[in-house]
Protein backbone atom coordinates (compact mmCIF):
# COMPACT_ATOMS: atom_id res chain seq x y z
CA UNK A 1 0.00 0.00 0.00
CA UNK A 2 1.28 3.49 -0.87
CA UNK A 3 1.51 5.72 2.19
CA UNK A 4 -1.09 8.47 2.20
CA UNK A 5 -0.14 12.14 2.15
CA UNK A 6 -1.30 14.17 5.13
CA UNK A 7 -0.29 17.44 6.74
CA UNK A 8 -1.15 18.85 10.17
CA UNK A 9 -1.55 22.53 10.98
CA UNK A 10 -3.59 24.77 13.27
CA UNK A 11 -6.05 27.60 12.87
CA UNK A 12 -6.10 29.29 16.26
CA UNK A 13 -7.19 26.58 18.69
CA UNK A 14 -8.42 24.30 15.90
CA UNK A 15 -6.29 21.28 15.06
CA UNK A 16 -6.50 20.75 11.31
CA UNK A 17 -5.29 18.21 8.83
CA UNK A 18 -5.17 18.00 5.04
CA UNK A 19 -5.41 14.44 3.75
CA UNK A 20 -4.89 13.65 0.09
CA UNK A 21 -7.38 11.32 -1.55
CA UNK A 22 -4.85 11.15 -4.40
CA UNK A 23 -2.72 13.31 -6.65
CA UNK A 24 -2.32 11.61 -10.02
CA UNK A 25 0.94 12.27 -11.83
CA UNK A 26 1.75 12.02 -15.56
CA UNK A 27 0.39 10.47 -17.69
CA UNK A 28 -2.78 10.95 -15.63
CA UNK A 29 -2.52 14.72 -15.19
CA UNK A 30 -5.27 16.30 -17.31
CA UNK A 31 -4.30 18.58 -20.22
CA UNK A 32 -4.87 22.29 -19.77
CA UNK A 33 -7.04 22.27 -22.90
CA UNK A 34 -9.55 20.06 -21.09
CA UNK A 35 -10.12 22.74 -18.44
CA UNK A 36 -9.72 25.93 -20.45
CA UNK A 37 -11.65 25.58 -23.68
CA UNK A 38 -12.94 27.96 -26.35
CA UNK A 39 -16.43 26.90 -25.31
CA UNK A 40 -15.79 28.14 -21.77
CA UNK A 41 -14.42 31.43 -23.02
CA UNK A 42 -10.68 30.71 -23.29
CA UNK A 43 -9.45 30.81 -26.91
CA UNK A 44 -6.63 28.37 -27.66
CA UNK A 45 -4.17 31.14 -28.55
CA UNK A 46 -4.96 32.97 -25.29
CA UNK A 47 -4.19 29.82 -23.30
CA UNK A 48 -0.89 29.30 -25.15
CA UNK A 49 0.14 32.90 -24.54
CA UNK A 50 -0.69 32.64 -20.82
CA UNK A 51 1.43 29.50 -20.43
CA UNK A 52 4.30 31.21 -22.25
CA UNK A 53 4.09 34.19 -19.89
CA UNK A 54 4.00 31.81 -16.94
CA UNK A 55 7.31 30.37 -18.16
CA UNK A 56 6.52 26.87 -16.96
CA UNK A 57 6.30 25.17 -20.35
CA UNK A 58 3.64 22.87 -18.92
CA UNK A 59 0.75 21.40 -20.86
CA UNK A 60 -1.15 19.83 -17.93
CA UNK A 61 -2.44 20.84 -14.53
CA UNK A 62 -2.25 19.06 -11.20
CA UNK A 63 -5.58 17.52 -10.30
CA UNK A 64 -5.11 16.91 -6.59
CA UNK A 65 -7.92 15.90 -4.25
CA UNK A 66 -7.14 17.53 -0.90
CA UNK A 67 -9.62 16.97 1.94
CA UNK A 68 -9.57 19.03 5.14
CA UNK A 69 -10.25 17.65 8.60
CA UNK A 70 -10.80 19.93 11.58
CA UNK A 71 -11.26 19.09 15.26
CA UNK A 72 -14.13 21.31 16.37
CA UNK A 73 -15.62 21.46 19.87
CA UNK A 74 -18.48 19.46 18.36
CA UNK A 75 -16.23 16.70 17.01
CA UNK A 76 -14.13 15.89 13.96
CA UNK A 77 -15.42 17.45 10.73
CA UNK A 78 -14.33 16.58 7.19
CA UNK A 79 -14.63 19.11 4.37
CA UNK A 80 -15.10 17.17 1.09
CA UNK A 81 -14.26 13.49 0.81
CA UNK A 82 -12.52 12.80 -2.51
CA UNK A 83 -13.41 10.26 -5.16
CA UNK A 84 -13.23 7.22 -2.91
CA UNK A 85 -12.01 3.73 -3.68
CA UNK A 86 -12.70 1.65 -6.80
CA UNK A 87 -13.34 4.67 -8.98
CA UNK A 88 -13.20 3.64 -12.63
CA UNK A 89 -14.88 6.69 -14.13
CA UNK A 90 -11.63 7.98 -15.67
CA UNK A 91 -10.38 4.56 -16.78
CA UNK A 92 -9.08 1.50 -14.90
CA UNK A 93 -5.54 2.86 -14.63
CA UNK A 94 -6.80 5.84 -12.67
CA UNK A 95 -8.54 3.89 -9.91
CA UNK A 96 -5.39 2.97 -7.90
CA UNK A 97 -4.33 6.62 -7.81
CA UNK A 98 -7.28 7.85 -5.73
CA UNK A 99 -9.37 6.62 -2.83
CA UNK A 100 -6.63 7.14 -0.24
CA UNK A 101 -8.49 9.39 2.17
CA UNK A 102 -9.58 6.63 4.54
CA UNK A 103 -6.03 5.24 4.74
CA UNK A 104 -4.74 8.73 5.45
CA UNK A 105 -7.34 9.18 8.17
CA UNK A 106 -6.08 5.98 9.80
CA UNK A 107 -2.42 6.93 9.47
CA UNK A 108 -3.21 10.23 11.17
CA UNK A 109 -4.73 8.39 14.12
CA UNK A 110 -8.47 8.54 13.42
CA UNK A 111 -11.13 6.04 12.43
CA UNK A 112 -14.08 6.63 10.14
CA UNK A 113 -16.32 6.47 13.23
CA UNK A 114 -14.48 9.48 14.68
CA UNK A 115 -15.94 11.70 11.94
CA UNK A 116 -18.97 13.49 13.36
CA UNK A 117 -19.69 15.81 10.43
CA UNK A 118 -19.08 15.99 6.68
CA UNK A 119 -19.27 19.39 5.01
CA UNK A 120 -19.64 19.40 1.23
CA UNK A 121 -18.55 22.42 -0.79
CA UNK A 122 -20.72 20.88 -3.50
CA UNK A 123 -21.86 17.45 -4.65
CA UNK A 124 -19.72 16.74 -7.71
CA UNK A 125 -18.42 13.19 -7.47
CA UNK A 126 -14.79 14.16 -6.79
CA UNK A 127 -15.98 15.93 -3.63
CA UNK A 128 -18.72 13.59 -2.43
CA UNK A 129 -18.17 10.05 -3.70
CA UNK A 130 -15.64 9.27 -0.95
CA UNK A 131 -18.47 9.52 1.58
CA UNK A 132 -20.68 6.91 -0.13
CA UNK A 133 -18.61 4.93 -2.65
CA UNK A 134 -19.34 1.52 -1.06
CA UNK A 135 -23.11 2.01 -1.22
CA UNK A 136 -23.31 2.99 2.43
CA UNK A 137 -22.04 6.00 4.41
CA UNK A 138 -18.27 5.79 4.86
CA UNK A 139 -18.60 7.72 8.13
CA UNK A 140 -21.35 5.94 10.07
CA UNK A 141 -21.62 8.47 12.91
CA UNK A 142 -21.55 11.62 10.76
CA UNK A 143 -24.17 14.16 9.90
CA UNK A 144 -23.66 16.07 6.65
CA UNK A 145 -24.09 19.62 5.40
CA UNK A 146 -24.66 20.96 1.88
CA UNK A 147 -26.26 24.14 0.62
CA UNK A 148 -30.01 23.97 0.10
CA UNK A 149 -29.67 25.06 -3.55
CA UNK A 150 -27.20 22.25 -4.13
CA UNK A 151 -29.56 19.62 -2.78
CA UNK A 152 -32.47 21.08 -4.74
CA UNK A 153 -30.49 21.13 -8.00
CA UNK A 154 -29.39 17.51 -7.94
CA UNK A 155 -32.81 16.22 -6.92
CA UNK A 156 -34.67 18.24 -9.55
CA UNK A 157 -35.83 15.62 -12.06
CA UNK A 158 -36.51 18.36 -14.61
CA UNK A 159 -32.90 19.61 -14.53
CA UNK A 160 -30.81 18.72 -17.57
CA UNK A 161 -28.12 16.66 -15.84
CA UNK A 162 -26.57 13.49 -17.29
CA UNK A 163 -27.38 10.46 -15.14
CA UNK A 164 -23.68 9.67 -14.73
CA UNK A 165 -23.00 13.13 -13.30
CA UNK A 166 -26.04 12.95 -11.04
CA UNK A 167 -25.20 9.54 -9.54
CA UNK A 168 -22.83 10.40 -6.68
CA UNK A 169 -24.86 13.44 -5.68
CA UNK A 170 -28.07 11.43 -5.43
CA UNK A 171 -26.28 8.62 -3.58
CA UNK A 172 -24.99 11.15 -1.07
CA UNK A 173 -28.42 12.70 -0.56
CA UNK A 174 -30.14 9.31 -0.30
CA UNK A 175 -27.63 7.58 1.99
CA UNK A 176 -27.31 10.42 4.46
CA UNK A 177 -31.08 10.91 4.39
CA UNK A 178 -32.30 12.91 7.37
CA UNK A 179 -28.71 13.32 8.56
CA UNK A 180 -28.04 15.63 5.59
CA UNK A 181 -28.77 19.22 6.57
CA UNK A 182 -29.60 21.65 3.75
CA UNK A 183 -28.08 24.96 4.87
CA UNK A 184 -27.80 28.57 3.70
CA UNK A 185 -24.85 30.93 3.29
CA UNK A 186 -23.46 32.93 6.20
CA UNK A 187 -24.39 30.30 8.79
CA UNK A 188 -22.20 28.80 11.53
CA UNK A 189 -23.02 25.16 10.88
CA UNK A 190 -20.52 23.86 13.46
CA UNK A 191 -18.51 25.65 16.14
CA UNK A 192 -15.96 27.88 14.30
CA UNK A 193 -17.19 26.64 10.88
CA UNK A 194 -19.19 29.02 8.65
CA UNK A 195 -20.59 28.79 5.12
CA UNK A 196 -19.61 31.42 2.52
CA UNK A 197 -21.34 32.19 -0.79
CA UNK A 198 -19.26 30.80 -3.67
CA UNK A 199 -22.09 29.88 -6.04
CA UNK A 200 -21.64 29.57 -9.78
CA UNK A 201 -19.57 26.46 -10.22
CA UNK A 202 -22.74 24.74 -9.06
CA UNK A 203 -25.92 26.41 -7.78
CA UNK A 204 -25.02 25.79 -4.14
CA UNK A 205 -21.23 25.81 -4.36
CA UNK A 206 -19.98 26.81 -0.91
CA UNK A 207 -16.71 28.03 0.53
CA UNK A 208 -16.08 27.07 4.16
CA UNK A 209 -14.51 29.46 6.66
CA UNK A 210 -12.76 28.22 9.77
CA UNK A 211 -12.06 30.87 12.40
CA UNK A 212 -10.47 30.70 15.84
CA UNK A 213 -8.60 33.26 17.96
CA UNK A 214 -8.36 35.68 15.07
CA UNK A 215 -6.91 33.12 12.62
CA UNK A 216 -8.86 32.05 9.56
CA UNK A 217 -8.76 29.39 6.86
CA UNK A 218 -11.01 29.67 3.81
CA UNK A 219 -11.63 26.40 1.96
CA UNK A 220 -12.62 27.49 -1.54
CA UNK A 221 -13.62 24.16 -3.10
CA UNK A 222 -13.66 24.53 -6.89
CA UNK A 223 -13.61 28.33 -7.00
CA UNK A 224 -10.39 27.82 -8.97
CA UNK A 225 -8.58 24.75 -10.25
CA UNK A 226 -5.20 26.12 -11.19
CA UNK A 227 -2.97 29.20 -10.66
CA UNK A 228 -3.83 30.34 -14.20
CA UNK A 229 -7.33 31.19 -12.95
CA UNK A 230 -5.83 33.64 -10.46
CA UNK A 231 -3.97 35.45 -13.24
CA UNK A 232 -7.15 35.22 -15.33
CA UNK A 233 -10.17 35.30 -12.96
CA UNK A 234 -12.60 35.53 -15.88
CA UNK A 235 -11.48 32.14 -17.19
CA UNK A 236 -14.17 29.55 -16.73
CA UNK A 237 -14.16 25.79 -17.09
CA UNK A 238 -16.74 23.49 -18.70
CA UNK A 239 -17.86 22.49 -15.20
CA UNK A 240 -18.90 25.98 -14.13
CA UNK A 241 -22.66 25.70 -14.53
CA UNK A 242 -23.39 29.43 -14.19
CA UNK A 243 -20.53 31.16 -16.02
CA UNK A 244 -21.34 34.72 -14.99
CA UNK A 245 -21.92 33.90 -11.35
CA UNK A 246 -18.81 31.70 -11.13
CA UNK A 247 -16.61 34.56 -12.35
CA UNK A 248 -18.26 37.03 -10.00
CA UNK A 249 -17.86 34.80 -6.95
CA UNK A 250 -14.26 33.89 -7.87
CA UNK A 251 -13.30 37.57 -8.11
CA UNK A 252 -15.02 38.36 -4.83
CA UNK A 253 -13.27 35.52 -3.01
CA UNK A 254 -9.87 36.36 -4.51
CA UNK A 255 -10.23 40.04 -3.60
CA UNK A 256 -11.22 39.16 -0.04
CA UNK A 257 -8.40 36.63 0.30
CA UNK A 258 -5.79 39.06 -1.02
CA UNK A 259 -6.97 42.10 0.93
CA UNK A 260 -7.14 40.26 4.25
CA UNK A 261 -4.26 37.81 3.66
CA UNK A 262 -6.48 34.82 4.37
CA UNK A 263 -4.97 31.37 4.53
CA UNK A 264 -6.58 29.48 1.65
CA UNK A 265 -7.19 25.81 1.05
CA UNK A 266 -7.58 25.03 -2.65
CA UNK A 267 -8.97 21.55 -3.19
CA UNK A 268 -7.33 20.79 -6.53
CA UNK A 269 -3.96 22.54 -6.24
CA UNK A 270 -0.85 20.46 -5.47
CA UNK A 271 -0.86 18.88 -2.01
CA UNK A 272 -1.57 20.21 0.55
CA UNK A 273 -3.31 23.00 -1.36
CA UNK A 274 -2.55 25.61 1.32
CA UNK A 275 -1.39 29.10 0.46
CA UNK A 276 -2.25 32.77 0.16
CA UNK A 277 -3.50 34.98 -2.64
CA UNK A 278 -1.62 38.16 -3.56
CA UNK A 279 -2.67 40.92 -5.93
CA UNK A 280 -0.72 40.93 -9.20
CA UNK A 281 -1.39 43.97 -11.38
CA UNK A 282 -5.11 43.79 -12.13
CA UNK A 283 -5.36 40.13 -11.13
CA UNK A 284 -3.87 37.76 -8.54
CA UNK A 285 -1.19 35.15 -7.94
CA UNK A 286 -0.86 32.07 -5.78
CA UNK A 287 1.76 31.74 -3.02
CA UNK A 288 1.91 28.16 -1.73
CA UNK A 289 2.49 27.77 1.99
CA UNK A 290 6.06 26.62 2.47
Write out pLDDT tens, residues 142-151: 999 999 999 9
Decide if pLDDT at 1 tops 50.
no
**pTM score, two decimals?**
0.96
- Residue percentage of the chain with pLDDT more than 90: 90
Query: How confident is the model at residue 46, as a pLDDT?
Result: 96
Whole-Å CA distances, 152 to 92, 176, 245: 32, 15, 18
- Arithmetic mean of pLDDT over the chain: 94
Q: Does domain 6-209 have CATH number 3.40.190.10?
A: no
246: pLDDT strictly greater than 90: yes
What are the tens digits of pLDDT across the range 190-243? 999 999 999 999 999 999 999 999 999 999 999 999 999 999 999 999 999 999
Digit-coded pLDDT (tens) for 38-56: 999 999 999 999 999 999 8
Closest CA to 75 of 139, 157, 135, 156: 139
Domain ranges within the chain, ordered by starting residue: 6-209
Bond from prior residue into 272 cis (ω within 30 degrees of 0): yes
What pLDDT shows up at residue 14?
A: 98
Residue 153 CA to residue 161 CA, distance in Å, equals: 9
| Integer CA distances (angstroms), 227 to 15, 128, 253, in order | 27, 24, 14
Which is higher by pLDDT, 167 or 155?
A: 155
Amino acid sequence: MVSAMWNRFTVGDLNCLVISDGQPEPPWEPPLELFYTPGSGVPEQELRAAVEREGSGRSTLTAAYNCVCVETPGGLAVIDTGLGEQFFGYGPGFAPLVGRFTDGLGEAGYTTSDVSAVVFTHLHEDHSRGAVWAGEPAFPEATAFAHAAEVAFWTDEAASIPDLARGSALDTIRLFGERLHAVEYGVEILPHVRTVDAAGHTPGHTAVLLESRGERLLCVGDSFYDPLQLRHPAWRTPWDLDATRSVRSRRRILEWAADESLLIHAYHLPFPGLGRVRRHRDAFEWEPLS
